[in-house]
Amino acid sequence: MTRKAHFERNTLRFPQKDFDMVKEGIVSLGIVGVAVVIVAAIFGAPYRPAITNQEIANQKPILVMQTAMGDLDGQGEMAAYGPPYNNGWHGVAQNIQSIGPFSPQTWWGTPYHLYTPNADVITPLTMLATASNNTALQAAIQTYNAASYTQQQAWDNNFTNALNKATVQNGQVVVPSGQYGPVQLMMNDELALAKSGLLSGALDRETNNGVYRWNIQNDLLFLQGPALHQYAKTIDMRGEQWGINHDEQAYPGPWWLTPYTFLYQVPPGSTSPSGDEIVAYTIAVLFGLLVLLPFIPGLNKLPRVLPVHRAIWRDWYKRLETTNACASCPLATSCNKEFHGPMTAAADHEIPACYDQTTSVGKGSHFVSQDSGIQPHA
């Protein structure tokens, strides 16, 4: 094939009919525009206000203390998460995904560094103590920081265990008396900070190096555990509930993520600790197949044997039939099969001459447009 032929709009050799592309575009814009505006005006769009640490602190104060304690003593999920936030708690990470030795999660180190004791407890409390001139809190933080790691862990463990027996009285968390060192005061103030609504600001300030408030990483990571999960469960948004795949009831969600979400419902996506990595790379491979479909032997021939194209071009095939194109065709059998029989695609070497407008059989008679009278561009 010559270079010129390669660029040519080679469909011009078929019979042509009038077609108004600009009108089609404008009409389509009109239809879609009117439909979208009407549907938007009637149904609106889903919106459920964001959850704040303040709300959680007021509704479930013990949960806020448990989260803060997990961040302080290293037992919490984010304290030991691993890359990209940290290298785990004292070098032990809990959430590094890998398929065998393939672990891309570790490739980039810890670009979004999160050291939970400081980020979520010590720094916000230090800011609170400074802002409120709270000398008792300042002293408690100093005592905690100066203590040995063993001593810190002892206080932490005692208070974490005490939280399991805690009750809420007048919005305050009440625990049995015990050896908590400065931790109880620190946690009471952490809760007070959260209730005031300023904890999120303190957490975001940490992530944003004190400037703009774009990066809500630490705020979300503080919320991300039981607080959001408990809430999400009540509206069927958890992973095993096809979470991300749907929106609020009666609204269509991002249904185009269905293949991706589906992989989380079946093993190994639903069972493996590296499920995310497995699902992501499975989708990447499947998407690669879709993109490269024209080059994949077998798959690229599939629509030829499926009969759907006969329905799409039914007018064209019917036209060949009504003009009796097959009657004088040297390959009448395969030509007829193309129009009628199930699973009857002709083999590659069989080229029904009745399709060929350039041969003496077809030329000039069957392939001149009956509608417009336009001659084919030979």
- Within 10 angstroms of residue 93's Cβ, the number of other Cβ atoms is 16
- Structure-token pair, residue 207: 């992530």
What is the C-alpha to C-alpha distance for residues 31 and 14, in angstroms, rounded to an integer?
A: 31
Contact pattern for other proteins over residues 83 through 102, marking x by CB under 8 A: xx----------x-x-----
Applying the rule CB under 8 A, the residues between 345 and 374 that interact with other proteins are 345-346, 348, 351-352, 355-358, 369, 371-372, 374
Q: What is the pairing mode between strands 167-169 and 172-174?
A: antiparallel
Q: Which helix (H) or strand (E) holds 169?
A: strand 167-169
Find where tokens 């690229």 sit: 300
Name the nearest CA neighbour of 48 among 221, 267, 328, 235: 235
What is the C-alpha to C-alpha distance for residues 377 and 368, in angstroms, rounded to an integer?
A: 10
3 state SS of 89: strand
Do 200 and 206 touch, CB atoms closer than 8 A? Answer: no
Contact pick of 146, 168, 266, 293 for other proteins (by CB under 8 A): 293
Written as one letter, the residue type at 335 is C
Widest pairwise Cα distance in the chain: 104
Instruction: Verify binding: residue 266, other proteins, rule CB under 8 A.
Output: no
Measured from the CB atom, the residue of 163 and 346 that comes closer to other proteins is 346
- Nearest distance from C-beta of residue 68 to other proteins, angstroms: 17
Contact pattern for other proteins over residues 301 through 340, marking x by CB under 8 A: x-xx-x-xx--xxxxxx-x------------------x--
Contact pick of 59, 265, 300, 365 for other proteins (by CB under 8 A): 300
Do 129 and 138 touch, CB atoms closer than 8 A? Answer: yes
Find where tokens 């027996």 sit: 165
Do 283 and 259 touch, CB atoms closer than 8 A? Answer: yes
Alpha-helix runs per DSSP H in 46-134:
53-59, 61-73, 116, 123-132
Q: Which stretch binds other proteins (CB under 8 A): 66-74, 120-128, 166-174, 240-248?
A: 240-248
Instruction: Verify binding: residue 136, other proteins, rule CB under 8 A.
Output: no
Contact pick of 135, 177, 295, 373 for other proteins (by CB under 8 A): 295
Instruction: Verify binding: residue 250, other proteins, rule CB under 8 A.
Output: no
Instruction: Verify binding: residue 36, other proteins, rule CB under 8 A.
Output: yes
Instruction: Verify binding: residue 53, other proteins, rule CB under 8 A.
Output: no
Measured from the CB atom, the residue of 166 and 257 that comes closer to other proteins is 257
Q: Which stretch binds other proteins (CB under 8 A): 64-72, 125-133, 164-172, 251-259?
A: 251-259
Instruction: Verify binding: residue 262, other proteins, rule CB under 8 A.
Output: no
Instruction: Verify binding: residue 104, other proteins, rule CB under 8 A.
Output: yes
- Nearest distance from C-beta of residue 202 to other proteins, angstroms: 16
What is the C-alpha to C-alpha distance for residues 64 and 189, in angstroms, rounded to an integer?
A: 11
Q: Which stretch binds other proteins (CB under 8 A): 60-68, 86-94, 121-129, 269-277?
A: 269-277
- Nearest distance from C-beta of residue 349 to other proteins, angstroms: 10
Contact pick of 59, 92, 108, 142 for other proteins (by CB under 8 A): 108
DSSP letter at 351 equals -
